[in-house]
Amino acid sequence: MSAYDTPRLTRRQMFRVLIALPVAAAFAEVARSQTVPGLRGALDAGAAGIRPAASEDQGPALQALLETAAQRGDPVYLPPGDYRVGRLALPDGTVLTGAGAASRLLATGEGPALLAQGAARITLSGLAVLAPADAARPGVVRMAEIGAVTMRDCLIDGGAGHGLSLEGCGGRIEANTLTRAAGAGLYAVDSKGLSIIGNTVSDCGNGGILVHRFAPGEDGTLISGNRVERTGATDGGTGQNGNGINVYQAHGVVVTGNHVSGSAFSAIRSNGGSGVIITANQCLDSGETAIYSEFSFVAAVISDNQVDGAANGILVVNLDEGGRIATVSGNIVRNLTTRGPYRHEGAGFGIGIAAEADTAITGNVIEGAPKWGIMLGWGPFQRNLTVTGNVVREAGTAVAVSVVEGAGAALIASNILACREAAIRGYRWNEAVTGDLIDGADGFSMLTVTGNRRG
């Protein structure tokens, strides 16, 4: 059993559900006769005797009604009000809908408030699930091995772990609000055709939207049009936590059109995500590197993003771990700082765009990179880099390129470079070892420098 397996019902809880089943079946006919506006054929939980503001746990009665409704193919409507529930296990075929934030499920007891496992289809809409941030509650809503989860227009607020946890699930998570989770707002691992669209994730302790795999593999999750705000790094580290959107070992993920602000570390961080596409995102006020493609990835497209405020802009690095092949094009990177969330033992902070292997950097605009506008290679980790048609202004050195023994080929051509120190300079790691190379790189066979202009 993995750390993310969904908890099952205890014998006592199952006994309570079995007792409630005949009652739910009896009330189902009464509930069926009630008309629910906008939800044809729904069973009304209120008509079935499930009352808001009751002091006792309403979970067993509600679960029994859901069991009966799922067997008949009926949806269940939860009227406005507060309902105390503890470990409500959702049966296959559940369709549970409420009146938006007015239909509130209040988590009690231990474990998740809502859980499901091994179902073909689960649908939740118009519900608010509220959980206190106590150590006894590892998450709020947890589902595992669900063929198609549909969750729309729901609120998940609080919890000592992740707000919404999905393992081995497909489906669509859309237009929800996930807030104040101690872990991540949404954690999805080993997904199967999952779409995460148009959600608002805010004020979470360790992450916003996490798309992970236990082992590297094809994933294909679509992360589009989300708003992720104020992501913390409560558990510390140098990038494991604190990312607005984080992809780990998941291949073929698309991250597009998201608005990410106030991340303690990265707005968007892909660690070992091959075939990742990161495009048309707005990344504001990131505490470390705004956009990262790192470690053992192969093939990354990073295009048409806007970065405003970060310690570093866009880094495509870790050739030593196998990281290679990328395009970095059409991005705007500005207003960087040399201050980061920890002491950096490598190149440091204040860098606009950096790459190490098999990467084309073209058509970007970088303004306000206090250390280096563009960084090519790190020591001997440099191979097949092109830097063409970029505009760099208000930089320390506009282009820093490695000239260490063993560093590979780099082409720097047709850029406009405005800087305080040098337009193009060779480095041995952090040490400047050449003058300005803007007029050519004679003596460095790995470099081709041509057609660049000072701005």
With 0-12 / 13-18 / 19 or more C-beta atoms within 10 angstroms meaning exposed / middle / buried, residue 198 is middle
The 3-class secondary structure across 91-160, one letter per residue, is CCCCEEEECHHHEEEEECCCCCCEEEECCCEEEEECCEEEECCCCCCCEEEEEECCCEEEEECCEEEECC
pLDDT attached to residue 33: 40
Query: According to the model, what pLDDT value does residue 40 have?
Result: 61
Q: What is the pLDDT of residue 39?
A: 59
The set of residues, in sequence order, having a beta carbon less than 8 Å from that of 312 and lying 6+ positions away, is 288, 289, 290, 336, 340, 349, 350, 351, 352, 354
The predicted pLDDT at position 283 comes to 98
Any residues with CB less than 8 A from the CB of 35 and at least 6 apart, and which?
none
Q: Is the pTM of this model over 0.75?
A: yes
In single-letter form, the type of residue at position 203 comes to: D
Q: Per residue of the chain (455 residues), give pLDDT as tens.
A: 333 333 444 444 444 444 444 444 444 444 444 445 555 678 999 998 898 988 889 999 999 999 999 999 999 999 999 999 988 999 999 999 999 999 999 998 777 899 999 999 999 999 999 998 665 556 799 999 999 999 999 999 999 899 999 999 999 999 999 999 999 999 999 999 999 999 999 999 999 999 999 999 999 999 999 999 999 999 999 999 999 999 999 999 999 999 999 999 999 999 999 999 999 999 999 999 999 999 999 999 999 999 999 999 999 999 999 999 999 999 999 999 999 999 998 999 999 999 999 999 999 999 999 999 999 999 999 999 999 999 999 999 999 999 999 999 999 999 999 999 999 999 999 999 999 999 999 889 999 999 999 99
Angular region, 356: left φ>0, alpha ψ -120 to 50, beta rest: alpha
Q: How much is the pLDDT for 200?
A: 98
pLDDT score at 10: 47
> Is the Cβ–Cβ distance between 259 and 292 less than 8 Å?
no
Collapsing DSSP to helix, strand or coil, 66 comes out as helix
Tell me the C-alpha distance between 406 and 358, whole Å. Answer: 15
Q: pLDDT value at position 136?
A: 53
